[in-house]
Chain A
Amino acid sequence: MFYIHCPYCGERREEEEFHPNGQAHLVRPADPDSVSDEEWGDYLFFRDNPRGIHHEMWVHRLGCRKFFNITRNTTTYEILETYPMGEQPTITAETAKVRHEQGVQTADGGWQTVGARPENSTLNEETPS
């Protein structure tokens, strides 16, 4: 059972309080009427299913009711960071690969690095520089 850091509440809470909402960073076409049926179909139905780093949207359903994003490793179930809506992940499949090649662990902190926003230093103690 996951232990998830809610970037709004500022603390880790049990998975039971949260609900996953699928892939993060989907962009709804600004003018749906101008896109082709195929493009609209891609937006509606097609999702990534990566082995490894994945960005997911979750909601703190039984907490603050806020949606936020999680960077999660789908093979180890490690949550590498959580960040509010509107922000971009600091860890991606590309950066993780580079770090891996450099022999740097993507995230220490045992099994979860919380609130990996660079400015969030107090929550960020366990993130490698």
Chain B
Amino acid sequence: MSQNNRLSQGGRIDRSRVLTFTFNGQQYPGFAGDTLASALLANGVDVVNRSFKYSRPRGITAAGPEEPNAIVQLGASEAAQVPNVRATQQALYDGLVARSTNGWPNVQRDVMSWVGKLGGSFMPPGFYYKTFMAPASMWMTYEKFIRKGAGLGRSPAESDPDIYDHLNQHCDVLVIGAGPAGLTAALAAARAGARVILCDEQEEMGGSLLDSREVLEGASATEWVERVVAELADMESVTLLPRTTANGYHDHNFVTLHERCTEHLADTAADAGRAGEVRSRLHRVRAERVVLASGSHERPLVYANNDVPGNMVAGAISVYLRRYGVAPGQRLVLTTNNDHAYRTALDWKEAGREVVAVVDSRANPDGDRVKQVRDSGIRVITGSAVMEASGSQRVSGARVVAIDTTRFVVTGKIEELACDTIASSGGYSPVIHLASHTGKRPQWREDLLGFVPGEVKGMHFAGGVQAVYALGETLADGARAGGEAAKAAGFDQAEAITVPSVEACAESATSALYQVPHEKPTLRAPKQFVDLQNDVTAAGVELATREGFESIEHVKRYTALGFGTDQGKLGNINGMAIAARCLHRSIPEVGTTVFRPNYTPVSFGAIVGRHCGELFDPERYTALHQWHVENGAEFEDVGHWKRPWYFPRQVDGKTETMHDAVARECLAVRQGVGILDASTLGKIDIQGPDAREFLGRIYTNKWAKLAPGRVRYGLMCKDDGMLMDDGTTSCLAENHFLMTTTTGGAASVLEWLELWHQTEWPELQVYFNSVTDHFATMTVTGPEARKLMAEVTDIDLDREQFKFMDWKQGTVAGVPARVFRISFTGELAFEINVQANYALHVWKALFAHGEKYDLTPYGTETMHVLRAEKGLIIAGQDTDGSVTPEDLGMQWAVGYDKPFPWIGKRALTRPDTAREDRKQLVGLKPKDPKVVLEEGAQIVLDREQKIPMTMMGHVTSSYYSPVLESGFALAVLKGGRNRMGETVYLPMSDGTTHEAEVVNTVFFDPKWERQNV
């Protein structure tokens, strides 16, 4: 057992449970209750990482989410890799494997460290942009090496074995943070009767009380915490969520909480013996009221070499001593500008270690804690600060000097103190991140030397987050905020709760000190780090201001201050203060930065929850889907639908190519009979006495005289006159219609109908209902279609009795059906609608009878070829929101003389829509029949023209036609209808140019005889 830095007693760890873990390939012991960081410190591991830019050795600095250095890669197996985990937040478990994120070949000997040794003058802010700027094409190459050198965590190469989920929650009061303020807030709100969620990011609740020296109601702080947590746990209206970070505060009190369910136990839930359970969970909480009790982070002071391992934030040292029984060194120098940090000197001394000196920047500190320290015989050096740390892999001394903070100069002789640990405290920064997530700017309080949150509606602040630091006041502030939140949520019977008594402690005022002046100017002094994670130095900030970056937002972006996973938790205020000093302005004048979600990194697993794999996006299947699967269909995504694309057959033991399959399917329809599953077409049932009038206003064509039993094709425009959707609508009865829409337009067309009915014409009595899923649609089409249909239906199929654009009610394969004689192929076609649950039966019956006609199933690709051969458009493919019915040559479907000003009519007479040189739909026939033009290819008239060429239009649909034995295309072309017979050119990106002739859009059967056979 090593653990040389472990104290013989104390701490909230279980010494009876020894856990073994591996860090950078070496095994160490730790105890249950440790974090990875406390266990590393217990074992005397000084260097845990290399810095991001300069590759300097770095040690553990803090004890919580503000830790900038101890960023590790976690996971014993490839699948369990987790990047960028803070060792300070990771509970230790048996078998934990971690390695440093940066450093090659290892953190002890890093080949990149020459970069750091060469010094800041070689790598100023913007170094990468300045140095690797030219040639621009090489940046991608440079970046690869820079990334490798700089290093970031890596994502696992195998898929995650764990599951994650989401939980939607509601509560009256959400309390964020279970420190002293959060606990009393939750208690006050819960006792008032509110439903409360209390979340805290740490392994156990209590926050700063877990390492506090103070006494509450005569008991230790931890005993009081246990009592309160037990009371809250007993209340049914309270949900306690430990290990749960409130990461994002969104509009209208929507808060995302990230709960780690098994991450503290093992690499995976299965490894923890909890297979099948979720690893972590995202709570999506809609709270009536939020109490933000997120506390504060202690700011380190900025002095030279303040990044050498052994430099720590004062409060973190107390946490390690009191909570984990770890003393991370032997001889301590504490440098501070406030009273509160003095407790660390007392904690250190009580642990049996030597406090070399407390160095206080104030001239005459005289608070109670200061007296206590002096009384215990510790040397206090006033009016001074640690100017520079000595040592490279570990602190070996502190250079202390008297300073004048107003003039920012050193004023005395430098004293060298031998020590191995330097604790620094520059005051406290409220953790205001969540309060600024919705854009509220925080406000600087010079009296409190920190930013406090701006007013956020629905949010109450308690304790350290608004710079209330004294324990007694914090407890009272929490109780007040909790009571107010409950009252605002409607629980106004709240009685004031009694706050435990705390012995008052007189404090002397904190002085403003961020960067400690050095004997040399900042730019020449050894590096004074502001943002340890991003290697931003005081010199870098100063240089940025000299180069003209005056707003802190610009300084940030130039230097990378506050970037990365750190988000400036330790460094932001110091950076602003240094920029302010250089610019001779105040901190708020330099600007405030706001924070964005998330507060700490959230794993993708938790964000995605169960929405992965086939549940990533909803998939819709038709009633015939299983048949398609069994018959080898290749599928195409159309909206959320899975539609058969084509049905490749096995020919001579090989699977047909798409080209061959589509050619075969096309010929089957043109020569025999084919069948298409068209169930995905949108279907809207429209009823009411004004249904007919409504259709007349929505469609461009006339509906007044459509008789029951008849079907009409209609165009739908927006009010700007541009085509939006098309489809057939059948008159089922005088006041009853069935509208079909494109597959993708089903939902939007229904909403469009509702929009006009509800907002413009509420006086019309008409009702709409989506019946897309209620009916399956099967299109039987081809010259043999009538013969096949005759075998399965009782409907009279005589061509005079059942005309084109008629529909009939009857039975098909013994089940009730509506059959429509409409055609999207140009061939004789019957579209059968049956109740969806009969679909498979009918489909199979058709195939049973269809075998002798070689009934061929076809997919969307063949459907596209067949309709394009007939010049039939697809809204959304041949149109793009800038195409009018006239552009399509469909004046025949526009009722200009209808009495009501239907949607789109007015716009069709605007000068722009009446232009003659608008892009019009035409056919294109490539001169070389083997060529299939690219969809989207641009059309030019002069192939010799220099770039930029005059572009006249583009190809919208293009296929190979087996009946024409040629490629063919639909296109929109400026003034196209007047260019019939002209030759146009289509230059391609590979330098070739295709030639094509402008032709009519109907390529096959121009007299439309085949659909009427």
Contacts and interface: CB of A to CB of B under 8 A. Distances in A.
Interface of A: 1-3, 14, 19, 21, 28, 31-33, 35, 37, 40-41, 43-45, 57, 59, 61, 65-67, 76-79, 85-86, 110-112
A2 B759 contact: no
Contacts of B636: none
A44 B759 contact: no
Contact of B252 (A41, A66, A86, A111): A111
Given A44-B907, A110-B458, A111-B253, 11 more contacts: A14-B286, A28-B760, A32-B906, A33-B906, A57-B759, A59-B755, A66-B754, A67-B759, A110-B253, A111-B457, A111-B458
Contacts of A3: 251-254, 286
B135 interface: no
Contacts of B758: 66-67, 85
Interface of B: 250-254, 286, 288-289, 438-439, 457-458, 488, 719-720, 751, 754-755, 758-760, 762, 901, 905-907, 910-911
B759 A1 contact: no
A5 to B, nearest CB: 11
B883 to A, nearest CB: 16
A77 B458 contact: no
A77 B457 contact: no
9 contacts: A2-B252, A28-B719, A35-B906, A37-B911, A59-B751, A79-B252, A85-B762, A111-B251, A111-B458
Contacts of A77: 251-252, 438
Nearest to A31: B901
Nearest to B252: A3
B907 A40 contact: yes
A85 B759 contact: yes
A100 B253 CA distance: 24
B754 A65 contact: yes
A68 to B, nearest CB: 9
Contacts of A43: 719
A85 B761 CA distance: 11
Contacts of B760: 28
A32 B288 CA distance: 47
Contacts of A86: 762
Contacts of A85: 758-759, 762
A7 to B, nearest CB: 13
Given A110-B488, A111-B252, A21 B762 contact: no
Contacts of B901: 31-33
B913 to A, nearest CB: 10
A3 B758 CA distance: 23
A40 B254 contact: no
Contacts of B457: 76, 78, 110-111
Nearest to B251: A77
Contact of A41 (B458, B905, B910): B910
Most buried by A among B251, B754, B755, B762: B251
A35 B719 CA distance: 14
List the 8 closest pairs (A to B, CB-CB), nearest first. Answer: A110-B458, A32-B906, A3-B252, A111-B457, A111-B458, A32-B901, A67-B758, A1-B254
Given A66-B758, A110-B457, A40 B910 contact: yes
Nearest to A40: B906
A77 B440 CA distance: 11
A35 B907 CA distance: 11
Nearest to B755: A67
B802 to A, nearest CB: 36
Contacts of B488: 110
B282 to A, nearest CB: 13
Contacts of A19: 751
A77 B719 CA distance: 30
A86 B757 CA distance: 12
Given A1-B252, A85-B759, A110 B289 contact: yes
B250 A1 contact: yes
Nearest to B719: A44
Contact of A110 (B288, B438, B910): B288
A43 B254 CA distance: 36
B560 to A, nearest CB: 29
A79 B910 CA distance: 38
Given A67-B758, A85-B758, A110-B288, A37 B910 contact: yes
A112 B736 CA distance: 42
Contacts of A1: 250-252, 254
